[in-house]
């Protein structure tokens, strides 16, 4: 009986030692799991925030490109309007009729017409000259803004991709940690069951 009690005491001490090690390992795994889950949640929040920022940048970039396109169309229409060549009406003179000197006055540009044409050209050039620097500056500003937004969009996309990789890695680590912990608990439960069976058998023999 004394031998049995000593053996029982040794088995119980061994069992307690094993469960103590398992408990410590479980606590360590739990702490690591909490750390991983915290990092996972942070990565998820950052991804959501960057996705929202990315959508805002995409919308602003779309508006800037639309404004740039409208400006280009407006400048094109303005230039074509001021440089439009008027149609010239040519009257056909029948071959059988005598041409009178008065009939040629319509096809000849007088000094007065030339003066008006010169004034119109000068006025057009002056107007285009005053509008051109402003339109040019506006176009350059829009192009610079588009380039800046594109850089922000590229940076956001890259960061989101990196965070997605981190989130995936954390998910895999959590899965492995849980699987290992479950396997360890299962193994110890089996050892405990085997130990109890052995103890019951020994007690029965005594």
104 secondary structure, DSSP code: G
Distance CA 132, CA 62 (A): 25
What is d(CA 47, CA 184) in angstroms, rounded to the nearest whole number? 34
Domain that holds residue 192: 2-82+115-205
Domain count for the chain, please give it: 1
Instruction: Tell me 7's DSSP state.
Output: H
Over range 189-194, report the average pLDDT: 76
9-40 pLDDT tens trace: 777 777 777 777 777 877 877 787 788 778 87
pLDDT digits (tens, 9 = 90+) for 38-76: 887 888 888 888 888 888 888 888 888 888 777 777 766
Reduce the DSSP state of residue 20 to 3 states and report it.
Answer: helix
CB atoms within 10 A of CB 43: 20
Asked whether residue 190 is assigned to any structural domain, the reply reads yes
**DSSP state, residue 97:** S
CB atoms within 10 A of CB 57: 20
Q: Residue 143 falls within a domain, yes or no?
A: yes
Query: For 144-168, what is the HEC assignment?
Result: HHHHHHHHHHHHHHHHHHHHHHHHH
In the chain, % of residues over pLDDT 70? 62
pLDDT higher than threshold 50 for residue 100: no
CA-CA distance, 44 to 48, in Å (whole number)? 6
- pTM (two decimals): 0.47
The CATH number of the domain where 133 resides is what?
1.10.287.1490
Q: Is residue 96 part of a domain?
A: no
């Amino acid at each position: 009986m004394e031998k049995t009690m000593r053996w029982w005491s040794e088995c119980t001490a061994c069992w307690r030692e094993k469960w103590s090690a398992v408990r410590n390992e479980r606590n360590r795994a739990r702490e690591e799991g909490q750390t991983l889950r915290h990092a996972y949640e942070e990565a998820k929040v950052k991804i959501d925030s960057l996705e929202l920022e990315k959508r805002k940048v995409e919308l602003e970039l779309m508006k800037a490109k639309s404004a740039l396109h409208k400006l280009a169309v407006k400048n094109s229409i303005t230039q074509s309007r001021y440089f439009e060549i008027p149609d010239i009406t040519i009257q056909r003179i029948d071959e059988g009729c005598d041409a009178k000197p008065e009939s040629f006055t319509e096809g000849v540009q007088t000094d007065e017409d030339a003066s008006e044409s010169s004034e119109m050209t000068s006025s057009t050039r002056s107007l285009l000259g005053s509008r051109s620097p402003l339109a040019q500056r506006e176009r350059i500003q829009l192009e610079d803004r588009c380039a800046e937004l594109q850089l922000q969009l590229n940076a956001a996309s890259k960061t989101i991709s990196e965070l997605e990789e981190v989130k995936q890695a954390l998910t895999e680590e959590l899965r492995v940690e849980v699987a290992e912990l479950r396997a360890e608990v299962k193994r110890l439960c089996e050892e405990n069951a085997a130990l109890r069976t052995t103890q019951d058998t020994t007690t029965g023999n005594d």
